[in-house]
Chains A and B, each alone.
Chain A
Amino acid sequence: MSESSLILKKYMDLANVFNASVTVDGDTIHILAKPEYLPKIADKLFNEFKCVHRTCVATDERPLNGFFSLTHLFTDDSHGFYISLKTYLDGENPKAPSIISVVPAADWCEMEARDLVGVEFEGRESYRLVLPPGWPADAHPLRKDFQYDKRPNILPVGEKVSTNEEASTIPVGPYHPALHEPEYFELYVEGERIVDVKYRGFHVHRGIEKLGESRMTYQQVNFLAERICGICGFEHSTCYALAVEKAAKLDVPERAQYIRSIILEIERLHSHLLWLGVAFHLVGYDAGFMHMWRIREKIMYLSEYLTGSRKTYGINLVGGVRKDINEEKKSKVLETLSTLEKEFKEIVEVAVSVPQVKRRLTGTGVLPKEDAVKLAVEGPVARASGIDRDARRDLPYAAYKHVSFKVPVYTEGDNLARALVRIDEVFESISMIRQLLDQIPKGPIRLEEFEIPPGRIGVQVVEAPRGGDVHFVITGEGKPYRWRVRAPTYNNIPALRVMLRDQPMADAPLTIASIDPCFSCTDRVVVIGKDGVIKKLSLTGGVML
């Protein structure tokens, strides 16, 4: 018996114990179980088989079969399998058992399912995560009978800003001091020491999933997916395209997969250079910031040269890519990469050896490995805490199985480790682009004609600069029936509570930035009167991390 059939047998045995049915479709193992066995199976998968909990998806399948469904998505990274643990819930009154007591990483996605689809979770405390507090409790926008352009009557309610009376409250937000992205953290401090953290997010939830399911076609969603994130947009559109291609079993030309991988690595380069610049700026080393961004500009020009735009490249389609890389472009890329590698090496060596920078980065914002595993953090945050995981190597997609590269892993878990992971990855990316350009095969760059049958399921993980993006697609008529997106920051924010606690106040901006967050949202203010008293805007409780 081969190794992979042994692994499959392991999952079949697990399913048999709980009377669940198993189907294997390519690299995805679909387990369909009764709701009451969900926590037990999830416990086995997460704690015994060491699978990673990526996210969960609630779907309104009432138009198809009269039920709601809940799917927990796991990945078995050591063997390269996707595991989808699905259960059907009552169509009238959907109730599911919560799995957060065994899988703490599922906390946010369960609450998102409760808000958007209206699934109630038993055995846990419920709070509102995604929907604005003014929305009525019975409005669930991802149900199929909810029109995408409907706006419910909004009740004017406030939210209590501070919940902690003993410690002083310091708001960080509504904009991050350096990242210029909306977020709101509330730091509770005693003297200079942070004792607890509260995060409130999702204030500008854009309803992208609903839009993709309601009024866009398969090809149009690529461009919408690219706009999920301003930094790692191409990862999202690739992930969506790969998920649909996997669902429809399309055989995409090799050349298209190579071009996708090359552009993905170029995006990683620009993202890591940006983050390093921001980190230097945050510790007050602005010269390093300026020079890092000076050499980043070369990458931005390169991506415009290859795709037609500095960001939002717009070259992905289901079935291939829109722009080819010819010989002239190839030599230009190689030339830019060699100057970039030289200049980056010079600057990073100088910048990291500045004693002030070194001191600020070392030993701050520590995330221990056991917390990292429990919260299923992603990307450089996981790799800096000693978790050896990279979707490019473990769950190969696009053209990554044709290149060799190292996955940098550090065990310290502090801000320096996270910076070093990113520095190492820059060199790996440069070498990967060289290998890919060297091996790129000839042929067409996209499929001309294909069909996407309805009712198929595709799950895909793509390693973005900040961690794994997860896209889950159920195909429908001309457009996705259900499209679920999870960005890596979604799993990384809960880890900030661990990283910020018992740390000096002054390191908080750097530590928050060290996960390279992509807050898609937040707006909140603290109004301070003339007498210095904080007026509290009251809303029903925020999220305690």
Chain B
Amino acid sequence: MGVLGQAWDWLADGANWSGENGVWHRLGEHVYVSGISLAIACALALPIGLWLGHIGKGGALAINVSNIGRAVPVFAVLALFMVSPLRSAGYLPTVAALVLFAVPPLLTNAYVGMREVDRSVVEAARGMGMSGGQLFWRVELPLARELVMTGLRSGAVQVIATATIAAMVGQGGLGRIITAGFNTYNTPQVFAGALLVAALALLVEGALVAADRLFPRPAAR
């Protein structure tokens, strides 16, 4: 119980929450950076993935983007941005690295979701005289929604988790609490920082699930 209890004490201490290095400030940075990155990644990946899935082409592209994304360390990408002129551009290096990292899963899931839609349903809709646009909005997208949302949820969780890496190159976010604890051998603080990140990730995942429930679902399959 030792470390966990000490971590709890650290979290319960109001002094750790205020100020430039406090939890609130770092949490704000973390949410801000993750939110912007996820929004940009969605704006880029979802239209492309859904459209490629709709026309049924570019599967190799969608899969390969995902495969390459796996091989590229976010830490290295972030480090590259940090030694480039982007260094002085505030949050830009972190956001750019996180967008690059979030696009592959979103793109692949959107594409696969569209392709997994039962072909016979698509054929039937075509036979009823639906245009490409109608097919896309009324048949394919509602049926692909489950997988697209899965991609969005795991993308969000991964972006939040990965945003901690920004601290390793001196950028803001909750990761700073972890690295600061590391540098001063303050294990309870490290533990508390990790707990905060995990809690934020779970909270966002829960919020996305709740938001998904708000929208009407298509009729049972």
Do A and B interact with each other, yes or no?
A: no
Interface residue ranges, A against B (CB under 8 Å): none
- B interface residues with partner A (beta carbon < 8 Å): none
